[in-house]
C-alpha cells in the first residue's frame, strides 16, 4: 500500500482523481477544493485561507506500491481523506473510498437510486448494512484496509500535534493543556456503508485485519444530490428585496425583507443559537452565505430572519427560517439562490476546468445537502428543488485505540 501525505492543500492530480469519481466523491472533493482556496475572499468579511491550516493533511491511500499514473487511469482502488485537527470540535476528518461508488456514473441526479426515492416517509436512514450488502468479501476487506490505513496515519498525526493544539486551544478540549484528551478519538464524516464495514470485519480468511472500530458517537443522514440545471430560478442576482406575502413592518405593504449575507459576529451568534450542530464563529464567517433580514431604520441593518450557508464540504448548511416567516417559501428560495450563486466557486480550483461563460456559474454541476430522515421539512425543500435522495452518510467519533495497527 502506498500513502500520500500532503500538507495543507491538495495537488491537482488528487483533485482530478476525485472528480473522476463524482458524484460519490463529492464531499471529500469539495472539502479539498475549499482547502485549495475555493472560498478565499468571497465572503463579505473577506476571510482568506480559512479552508485549511498549517495542521491540515491531505491523505490518499492506494492499493499498490505507488500512486497511479495516467496510464493506470482512474480505476485503481484508493481512499482519500482531509484531516485538520485544528477544526475541533467541528468535523476534523472527511473520508472517501472508491469502493463506495455504486456503479456507472449518473449524468443526472434523477438517475441515482430511483427505487430509494420511492421509499415510504418513515424510511430509516441508518442503512449501512444495506449499502454494502452486495459487496464481495474482497471489496469489503480492501475498503477496510485502505480506510484504516488513513485513520491510523491520522492517529500518528494527532499524537504529534496534540501538545501544541491542546495548549493553543484548551477551551475546545474541556481540560486546559490536556493533550491526552485530544488523541482519544476523532470526529469523521464518512459514507455509512464504510462505517458499517469498519465496525464489522469479515472472516479471518477473508479479512486478515481484525480491527473493529469503536464509536462513541454516531449520527446518520441522507445525502441529497442536486444538479445545477435542475435548481429553479427563484430570485435574480440583482434582486435586493424579497416580497413576502404579507405587509411589511412599516404597515405600508412594502417588502419587509432585504437580501444580504451573514457577515457580523452578532449575525453568527444568532445562527449558532438556532442550531445544535457545533459551529465556530470563524468558520461561519469564512464560508459563503445568503440571508434575508428585516429592513433597518436610519441606514442600520435589521435583524436576520432566514439564512443558509455553503459548508466546507460544499453542502447546504444551517438552512433556517425564524418562526414568524415560516410557511412562505423562504427556505426553498434561500437554498436555490445559494446554489445558483455559489456552485461555480469550485470551478477555478481545478486547472483542467474550462471557464466559459456557459459553465462559469455551475462548476461540475453537483450540489448536495445532508438531511436527517426525521427532518420532513428539509426533505420537502430538497424535493421541491429537484434533488434526489442518494446514499446515507454518517458523522462518527471513532476511538483511536480501536483502530489497530498496520501489519
Q: Give the integer Cα–Cα distance in Å for 10 and 304.
A: 36
297 Cβ neighbours under 8 A, 6+ residues apart: none
Q: What is the mean pLDDT of the chain?
A: 84
Q: Which residue, among 234, 154, 226, 137, has the nearest Cα to 190 in the 3D structure?
A: 154
Q: Give the integer Cα–Cα distance in Å for 52 and 85.
A: 10
Reported as a single tens digit per residue, the pLDDT across 76-120 is 899 999 999 988 778 999 999 999 998 644 444 444 444 444 555
Work out the percent of the chain whose per-residue pLDDT is above 70: 83
Q: How far is CA 114 from CA 111, 370, 376, in A?
A: 6, 18, 19
pLDDT, residue 242, reads: 85
CATH class of 229-390: alpha beta
Residues 247, 250, 251, 254, CA torsion sign: negative
pLDDT, residue 354, reads: 47
Task: Count CA atoms within 13 Å of residue 103 on its CB side.
Answer: 10
* Residue 254 confidence class, pLDDT cut points 50, 70, 90: very low
Domain extents in the chain: 2-224+394-402, 229-390
Whether 245 shows a pLDDT value over 90: the answer reads no
338 Cβ neighbours under 8 A, 6+ residues apart: 288, 289, 290, 308, 309, 310, 316
* Region of residue 298 (left: phi > 0; alpha: psi -120 to 50; beta: else): left
**CB distance 94 to 189 below 8 Å:** yes
User: In this predicted model, which residue has the larger pLDDT, 39 or 107?
Assistant: 39
Amino acid at each position: 500500500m502506498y500513502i500520500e501525505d500532503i500538507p495543507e492543500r491538495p495537488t491537482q492530480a488528487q483533485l482530478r482523481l476525485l472528480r473522476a469519481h463524482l458524484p460519490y466523491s463529492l464531499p471529500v472533493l469539495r472539502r479539498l477544493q475549499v482547502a485549495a482556496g475555493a472560498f478565499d475572499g468571497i465572503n463579505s468579511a473577506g476571510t482568506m485561507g480559512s479552508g485549511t491550516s498549517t495542521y491540515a493533511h491531505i491523505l490518499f491511500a492506494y492499493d499498490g506500491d505507488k500512486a497511479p499514473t495516467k496510464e493506470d487511469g482512474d480505476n485503481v482502488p484508493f481512499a482519500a481523506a482531509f484531516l485538520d485537527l485544528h477544526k475541533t470540535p467541528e468535523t476534523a476528518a472527511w473520508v472517501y473510498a472508491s469502493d463506495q461508488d455504486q456503479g456507472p456514473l449518473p449524468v443526472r441526479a434523477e438517475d441515482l437510486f430511483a427505487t430509494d426515492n420511492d421509499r415510504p416517509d418513515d424510511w430509516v436512514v441508518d442503512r449501512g448494512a444495506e449499502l454494502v450488502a452486495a459487496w464481495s468479501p474482497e471489496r469489503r476487506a480492501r475498503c477496510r484496509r485502505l480506510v484504516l490505513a488513513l485513520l491510523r496515519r491520522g492517529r500518528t498525526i494527532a499524537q504529534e500535534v496534540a501538545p501544541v493544539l491542546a495548549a493553543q486551544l484548551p477551551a475546545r478540549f474541556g481540560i486546559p493543556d490536556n493533550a491526552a484528551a485530544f488523541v482519544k478519538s476523532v470526529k469523521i464524516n464518512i459514507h455509512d456503508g464504510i462505517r458499517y464495514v469498519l465496525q464489522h470485519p469479515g472472516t479471518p480468511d477473508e479479512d486478515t485485519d481484525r480491527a473493529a472500530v469503536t464509536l462513541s458517537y454516531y449520527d446518520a443522514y441522507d445525502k441529497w444530490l442536486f444538479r445545477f440545471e435542475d435548481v429553479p430560478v427563484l430570485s435574480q442576482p440583482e434582486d435586493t428585496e424579497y416580497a413576502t406575502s404579507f405587509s411589511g413592518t412599516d404597515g405600508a405593504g412594502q417588502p419587509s425583507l432585504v437580501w444580504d449575507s451573514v457577515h457580523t459576529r452578532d449575525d453568527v451568534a444568532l445562527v449558532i443559537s438556532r442550531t445544535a450542530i457545533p459551529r465556530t464563529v470563524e468558520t461561519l464567517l469564512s464560508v459563503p452565505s445568503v440571508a434575508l433580514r428585516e429592513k433597518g431604520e436610519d441606514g442600520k441593518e435589521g435583524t436576520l430572519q432566514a439564512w443558509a450557508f455553503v459548508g466546507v464540504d460544499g453542502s447546504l448548511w444551517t438552512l433556517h427560517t425564524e418562526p414568524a416567516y415560516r410557511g412562505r417559501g423562504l427556505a426553498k428560495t434561500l437554498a436555490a439562490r445559494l446554489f445558483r450563486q455559489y456552485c461555480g466557486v469550485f470551478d477555478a480550483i481545478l486547472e483542467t476546468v474550462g471557464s466559459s461563460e456557459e459553465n462559469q456559474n455551475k462548476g461540475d454541476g453537483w450540489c448536495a445537502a445532508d438531511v436527517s430522515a426525521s427532518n420532513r421539512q428539509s426533505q420537502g425543500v430538497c424535493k421541491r428543488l429537484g434533488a434526489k435522495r442518494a446514499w446515507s452518510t454518517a458523522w462518527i467519533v471513532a476511538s483511536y485505540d480501536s483502530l489497530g495497527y498496520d501489519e
